[in-house]
Amino acid sequence: MITIKELTSKKELKLFVKFPFKLYKNNPFWVPPIIKEELDSFDKNINPVFKHAKARFFIALKNNEIVGRIAAIINYTELNEQKIKKMRFGWFDFIDDLEVSKMLLKKIEEIGIQHQLEFMEGPVGFSNLDKVGVLTEGFDHIGTMITWYNYPYYKDHFKKLGFNVEKEYLENKFPFKNVVKEPIEKISTILKKRYQLTSLNFTKTKDLMPYVDKMFELFNITYAALPSFVPISTIEIEYFKKKYISFINPEYIKFVVDKDHNMIAFAITMPSFSKALQKANGTLFPFGIFHLLKAKKESKDVIFYLIGVHPSYQNKGIHALIFNEYQKTFEEMNIENCIRTPELASNKAIAAVWKNFNPITYKKRCTYKKNL
């Protein structure tokens, strides 16, 4: 018999966070989160997203053993301001038992109906900066710290339970050697002169921090046209600054400003922490932190996390300025591979940005939707 239990206390939520550690034990492609950071992201007193979102956490039990988990999420900015009546669900993991996945999703459906929502979609997080999607191709490639990994049977469960694909995401990569210096450098020089632009590089975190608020403002403008975009609030910006920006190598963040020092383009990359996180196995201490710090300095793979250009400068080749700066930075660091985070398959503009680097699609993932 399978039962669904809601978890509320921090002690209980630790069981929620630790379930995948058992499900994916000895899987060479799964990248574990840091348990404390995951718990902090679910804490209403720490994560400011809860000022405009609500989440409930559930596990499925069979013979007193956890066999699945799911989070039910309502984002009130999305609901009240954007008028999108979506019931979100995420952090969805389960054994290969259709009854388990069915009952967990049924709980999400019940909550959505109670709140008079129109459809449920997932897996997604609280906002656009969270993980997204069920992996549908590329199961034999290591994950990243900003993506969920799952077994191939997940997609089969969604299909059997009457869900339809809502959005498809592609994950691409290319060797750093594909970034050819001469043409990018030439184009960058022309664009800087034509539009009176300046590239900003940093070696100290304290020097880039004053620009981060402007970057997130530009992020909200740049990504507003994408489906399901939810703006990042001021308090969330402060949270992300503390949680992520302060830890990323300052050399991995690039900005472009105009003659009046208005930000018109940005990019955030980070070293790949995947193997370091596998070694840490969910904990920072006593040794996990050393694996992460080593990866921060020595990783030969970089993850392109976010990149954006102001709408008034799009289709002008401004990305060349960013790539020109990365070319110089990554050459000094002997970077070997450039890996991109999930991008909407329908986003033709971003595909055009990367096409000259001859990327390969090595993973696909999607979200699933069901009307309520």
pLDDT tens digit string along 72-81? Answer: 999 999 999 8
Q: Per-residue pLDDT tens for 203-242? A: 999 999 999 999 999 999 998 877 768 888 888 888 888 8
Note whether residue 16 is domain-resident.
Answer: yes
Q: 184 and 146, same structural domain?
A: no
| Type and span of the H or E element at 179 | none
Place of tokens 């000259």: 356
Q: 254 and 156, same structural domain?
A: no
Q: What is the residue range of 223's domain?
A: 174-363
Q: 128 and 181, same structural domain?
A: no
Q: 204 and 323, same structural domain?
A: yes
Q: 208 and 155, same structural domain?
A: no
Note whether residue 369 is domain-resident.
Answer: no
Query: How much is the pTM?
Result: 0.94
pLDDT number for residue 339: 97
Query: Lowest mean pLDDT: which of 36-40, 168-172, 240-244, 367-371?
Result: 240-244
Q: Dihedrals φ, ψ of 208, to 5°?
A: -90, -25
Tokens of 30: 């799964």
Q: 139 and 249, same structural domain?
A: no
Across the chain, mean pLDDT equals 94
Note whether residue 110 is domain-resident.
Answer: yes
**Size of the chain in residues:** 372
Residue 122 makes CB contacts below 8 A (sequence gap 6+) with 88, 89, 90, 92, 108, 367, 368
The CATH number for 198's domain is 3.40.630.30
CB 280 within 8 A of CB 32: yes
| Type and span of the H or E element at 193 | helix 181-195
| Type and span of the H or E element at 321 | helix 319-332
Assess whether pLDDT exceeds 80 at residue 288. yes
Assess whether pLDDT exceeds 90 at residue 272. yes
Cα distances from 283 to residues 16, 131, 291, 363, in angstroms, run 16, 20, 11, 27
Note whether residue 358 is domain-resident.
Answer: yes
Domain count, the chain: 2
Give percent above pLDDT 90 in the chain: 84
pLDDT number for residue 161: 98
Note whether residue 371 is domain-resident.
Answer: no
Residue 42 makes CB contacts below 8 A (sequence gap 6+) with 13, 16, 17, 55, 57
Residues 25 and 32: their CA atoms lie apart, in Å, by 10
Q: 125 and 54, same structural domain?
A: yes
Q: Per-residue pLDDT tens for 314-343? A: 989 999 999 999 999 999 999 999 999 999
Q: Which of 155, 170, 185 is the last residue of a domain?
A: 170
Q: Which of 119, 154, 170 is the last residue of a domain?
A: 170
Q: Dihedrals φ, ψ of 243, to 5°?
A: -80, -40
Note whether residue 111 is domain-resident.
Answer: yes
Q: 153 and 19, same structural domain?
A: yes
Residue 38 makes CB contacts below 8 A (sequence gap 6+) with 17
Q: 260 and 159, same structural domain?
A: no
Q: 95 and 42, same structural domain?
A: yes
Q: 326 and 255, same structural domain?
A: yes
Strand residues in 233-359 grouped as ranges (E): 253-257, 263-271, 301-309, 337-340, 343-344
Note whether residue 344 is domain-resident.
Answer: yes
Q: Which of 170, 187, 214 is the last residue of a domain?
A: 170
Please compute the mean of the pLDDT values over residues 186-200 and round it to a whole number: 95
CB 62 within 8 A of CB 69: no
CB 131 within 8 A of CB 90: yes
Residues 24 and 333: their CA atoms lie apart, in Å, by 33
Residues 278 and 317: their CA atoms lie apart, in Å, by 38
- Cα torsion angle, 281, 284, 290, 294, sign: positive
Note whether residue 372 is domain-resident.
Answer: no
Q: 190 and 108, same structural domain?
A: no
Instruction: Determine the residue type at 370.
Output: K
